[in-house]
Structure 1
Amino acid sequence: MLCVGLFGLVYSIGVGTNTQETHPKLSWKQCSSGGSCTTQQGSVVIDSNWRWTHSTKDLTNCYDGNLWDSTLCPDGTTCSKNCVLEGADYSGTYGITSSGDSLTLKFVTHGSYSTNVGSRLYLLKDDNNYQIFNLAGKEFTFTVDVSNLPCGLNGALYFVEMDQDGGKGKHKENEAGAKYGTGYCDAQCPTDLKFIDGIANSDGWKPQDNDENSGNGKYGSCCSEMDIWEANSLATAYTPHVCDTKGQKRCQGTACGENGGGDRFGSECDPDGCDFNSWRQGNKSFWGPGLIIDTKKSVQVVTQFIGSGSSVTEIRRKYVQNGKVIENSYSTISGTEKYNSISDDYCNAQKKAFGDTNSFENHGGFKRFSQHIQDMVLVLSLWDDHTVNMLWLDSVYPTNSNKPGADRGPCETSSGVPADVESKSASASVKYSDIRFGPIDSTYK
């Protein structure tokens, strides 16, 4: 499939016709001051990384296991000429189901031709555009059930600064666009993406030693990120990350930071972010089965972006469970005791108390972050961690450390090994529902 651009002939990511692309419906609510909410009809699309990629001529896999076919994909441009992204069977292949305003993601799904692990989806405005959110001065609320998520899993709901059309307009090489889930980026500058800027990321591709389905290419994709929610039934955190450049940007090699083989803090993005994890901040009775926030039950999660105009200076968290509004826990770590929300002052105090690199401040802190959260795309996902077994979220990490901040959750340091989680907890799942967005204090009661 070809397209002619201003600079001559270029090859596109094509789309296949073997499976029709039908997006699961997912409604959400736009609220106004006073609490009046209007239902919006939306849908979700799975990321292109999960899709079957095959030859334009037949059904030969362009990507199989964790390798590109060397004949079809000797380089990225040729690969993009020879290959297409296929439509998705959301429930049968990926274990994704929706009903009204709720979305359920199953962890492991055994399909007719393959076994799928995890998923990453985006909220769509229509079949060709992601829904864009301006978080400044607003409140984002959703209900979540993590009762079926054990140690080592992450039901993550977050925002990233992706292009609304998945990069289709910016990169004429990209025919697939938002309709097929292209254009992903985040503050880790991931290099495991199969397509970036409309071109296959097959150049320099190296399969990962500990993941039979993934590898890393020469390029990565960077952008600012707001982790509204990273959680399982034992631990949770919310975390802003900021990059120097606005919007999605392709990086190469060590400029992608740790994921590109360079220094962790060598990219233009803040990989650590400024997190608030109640357990890590010293309160071990706040989040978990039977605790103040009882993870055996669904909970409504409220995140408020406080500030004036387009400037955000604080991110507050509230929970609603059993009809009761519960304020976020206060930190008990020395030097941070007055904080139960995220601000520049909290971030500086936390980084000092834990002895961590203050990459959030180094990349501009809330002043720059405010500029990046006005055009954000909502991501809903479920994943396990082939790098450090999710210990950074729910256990002690680094595992041999006893310094403040290393204790992040109650899970054993031996937990979270993907092979174990995928076999023993294959039936794990997360359910997101009742997404609401509006002015401060308009989306919950």
Structure 2
Amino acid sequence: MQSSVGCIEVLHQPGLATSILKPHPPSEMFRAATLIAFTLLAVVGAQQVGTNTAETHPSLSVQECTAPGSCTTQQRSIVLDANWRWLHTTTGYDNCYTGNTWDTSLCPDGATCAQNCALDGADYSGTYGITTSGNALTLKFITESQQKNIGSRVYLLESESSYQIFNLKNKEFTFDIDMSNLPCGLNGALYFSQMPKDGGMAQFSTNKAGAKYGTGYCDSQCPHDIKFINGEANSDGWEPSPNDSNAGKGTYGSCCAEMDIWEANSMAAAYTPHPCTASQRCEGTECGDGDNRYGGICDKDGCDFNSFRMGDQTFLGPGMTVDTKSKFTVVTQFVTSDNTTSGTLSEIRRLYVQNGQVIQNSKVNIPGIDASVDSITDDFCSTQKTVFGDTNSFQAKGGLAAMGDAFEAGMVLVMSVWDDHEANMLWLDSNYPLDKDASEPGVARGTCSTDSGKPTDVESSAASASVVFSNIKTGPIGSTFA
């Protein structure tokens, strides 16, 4: 999850360039770029294709395993999300979006905007601080060259124009993480969203960019800050953000199931399934906005397992059992009821490997929840919601079975780094919500101060922050780690 906004470009110089109650940067899960120069103009993701900058996808190798030590390397690549890209006229280099406002002469409505505006290629390392080396992807939080970029979100590609599609039922997903350089208030996220394989090109004729340019994003927060949804600009009803000069929200949201494998910084981590009853553009009550949070088509809270929140406050962090001061391996297993790929998803297990040692997930230490529990099941989620006093939207939206259905339909791998303009990341690493006492079950989620995480602070103090995802593997349960 992450909030996504567009970059700011120099005019005519186009070459520059809850249960968990989280605001999902999903879209609210990722904050985008801000490029600074004499004249500052914001730009966004779109659906036509520009020709100023060639789109060259950084390569990233992954592995498919059949048994421990028996893995085949696959050459893949990553692509930057469309919302971070420069959007300009198809006939020139005038921006279609300035600051946090659409140019109504170019974008009087969503369909016309899609015809008038082009999405250009990206300078991955120079502008966005995105680099790859072999099987490793590094995302820098802030990159400064001729401009200043904040955060990023990328997807794994199978080919130049298609996302890699994953179905993890009765399989496991493994990766290495180095988040030693991610302080309070930041989120180095790895997750899956039920996005279309081609980015929506086949379904929506006005989308000419597709997966090659990172289109089609959606998640369980039904984000409204996505600039183009279903091949049309989300300009109708657009309201500029009151606390972010480059962001805003339109009438429509973009909803789909989301499996958060990893939302974390050096102080806290959580994994969280978010089922939805549909995957679509939303409007009004179906988006689950405001007071209708639990009436929409997606489970925005999810059912999270955060070791600190579940009562073990010495399990994950600097110098702890899982020591976040150095790299470690994260293993997530998706167990089905009959141990087949066609069975019903019934459990999501977590393991860690560090310094050659396999580390079992922490146990729950919360009165009212079975102390032997160390994984996510429907029973765990129902009990957790009751004990924490949370609404069980997870069960209402289909629980683990619905999450399994989303995988069976196919999901896309997302990796990002972002800060949080909605709730300062307190839902991940501090006490949240702030109107409850930290001693109440489920409120304490990490050791970070409730004053931490303000974007103005972290963008200043943590400008050199970064996260490294590497050694991605998939395969049958027990095949991806020793």
Q: Aligning the two structures, in what range does the TM-score lie when normalised by the shorter sequence?
A: over 0.9
Q: CA–CA distance in 1 between the matches of 2:395 and 2:70?
A: 37
Of 174, 183, 193, 1:160 maps to 193
What is residue 200 of structure 1 aligned with on the other side?
233
CA contact (8 A) 1:207 1:215 kept: yes
Of 280, 286, 296, 1:249 maps to 280
Offset at residue 289 of structure 1 (A): 0.5
Aligned residue identity for 1:432? F
Task: Tell me the number of residue pairs that the alignment of Structure 1 and Structure 2 aligns.
Answer: 429
What is residue 3 of structure 1 aligned with on the other side?
none
Aligned residue identity for 1:279? F
What is residue 340 of structure 1 aligned with on the other side?
374
Aligned residue identity for 1:236? A
Listed one character per residue, the Cα deviations across residues 291-328 of structure 1 (whole Å, up to 9, x for unaligned) are: 11100000100000011222110000000000000000
CA contact (8 A) 2:81 2:213 kept: yes
CA contact (8 A) 1:148 1:429 kept: yes
Offset at residue 334 of structure 1 (A): 1.1
Of 361, 378, 383, 2:418 maps to 383
What is residue 274 of structure 1 aligned with on the other side?
303
1:136 has 2:136 as partner: no
What is residue 7 of structure 1 aligned with on the other side?
none
Listed one character per residue, the Cα deviations across residues 106-159 of structure 1 (whole Å, up to 9, x for unaligned) are: 0011242x3211011000000000000111000000000000000000000000
Listed one character per residue, the Cα deviations across residues 155-188 of structure 1 (whole Å, up to 9, x for unaligned) are: 0000011000001111111110000000000000
1:323 has 2:352 as partner: no
Q: CA–CA distance in 1 between the matches of 2:193 and 2:132?
A: 22
Of 297, 321, 334, 2:326 maps to 297
Aligned residue identity for 1:57? T
What is residue 41 of structure 1 aligned with on the other side?
75
CA contact (8 A) 1:147 1:295 kept: yes
Aligned residue identity for 1:417? K
Listed one character per residue, the Cα deviations across residues 322-374 of structure 1 (whole Å, up to 9, x for unaligned) are: 00000000010012222100000110111111010000001111222221112
Q: CA–CA distance in 1 between the matches of 2:47 and 2:269?
A: 37
Q: CA–CA distance in 2 between the matches of 1:315 and 1:73?
A: 44
Q: CA–CA distance in 2 between the matches of 1:46 and 1:96?
A: 9
Q: CA–CA distance in 2 between the matches of 1:67 and 1:91?
A: 27
Q: CA–CA distance in 1 between the matches of 2:50 and 2:258?
A: 31
1:230 has 2:246 as partner: no
Q: What percentage of aligned pairs have identical amino acids?
A: 61
3-state SS of paired residue (1:373): helix
Q: CA–CA distance in 2 between the matches of 1:438 and 1:23?
A: 25
CA contact (8 A) 2:115 2:206 kept: no
Of 192, 199, 214, 2:247 maps to 214
Structure 1's 431 and 34: CA in aligned 2 closer, same or farther, altered over 3 A? closer
Aligned residue identity for 1:296? K
Offset at residue 78 of structure 1 (A): 1.4
Q: CA–CA distance in 1 between the matches of 2:117 and 2:245?
A: 21
Structure 1's 438 and 289: CA in aligned 2 closer, same or farther, altered over 3 A? same
Structure 1's 385 and 226: CA in aligned 2 closer, same or farther, altered over 3 A? same
1:413 has 2:446 as partner: no
Offset at residue 34 of structure 1 (A): 4.2
Aligned residue identity for 1:121? V
What is residue 172 of structure 1 aligned with on the other side?
205
CA contact (8 A) 1:256 1:262 kept: no
Q: CA–CA distance in 2 between the matches of 1:203 and 1:111?
A: 34
Of 4, 15, 18, 2:49 maps to 15
CA contact (8 A) 2:68 2:481 kept: no
3-state SS of paired residue (2:67): coil
Aligned residue identity for 2:163? Y
What is residue 426 of structure 1 aligned with on the other side?
463
> How does the TM-score come out when normalised to structure 1?
0.95
Q: CA–CA distance in 2 between the matches of 1:86 and 1:35?
A: 41
CA contact (8 A) 1:254 1:262 kept: no
Q: CA–CA distance in 2 between the matches of 1:426 and 1:204?
A: 34
Aligned residue identity for 1:158? Y
What is residue 148 of structure 1 aligned with on the other side?
181
Gaps of 5+ in 1: 1-11
CA contact (8 A) 1:396 1:408 kept: yes
Q: CA–CA distance in 2 between the matches of 1:298 and 1:213?
A: 34
Ranges of 4+ aligned residues in structure 1 off by more than 6 Å: none
Of 38, 42, 61, 2:95 maps to 61
Offset at residue 67 of structure 1 (A): 1.6
Of 153, 168, 183, 2:216 maps to 183
What is residue 479 of structure 2 aligned with on the other side?
442
Q: CA–CA distance in 2 between the matches of 1:319 and 1:295?
A: 12
What is residue 111 of structure 2 aligned with on the other side?
77
Listed one character per residue, the Cα deviations across residues 364-411 of structure 1 (whole Å, up to 9, x for unaligned) are: 112222211120100000011100000000000012312210111100
Of 245, 250, 272, 1:239 maps to 272
What is residue 99 of structure 1 aligned with on the other side?
133
CA RMSD of aligned residues (A): 1.1
What is residue 25 of structure 2 aligned with on the other side?
none
> How does the TM-score come out when normalised to structure 2?
0.88
What is residue 399 of structure 1 aligned with on the other side?
434
3-state SS of paired residue (1:37): strand
Offset at residue 262 of structure 1 (A): 5.0
3-state SS of paired residue (1:342): coil
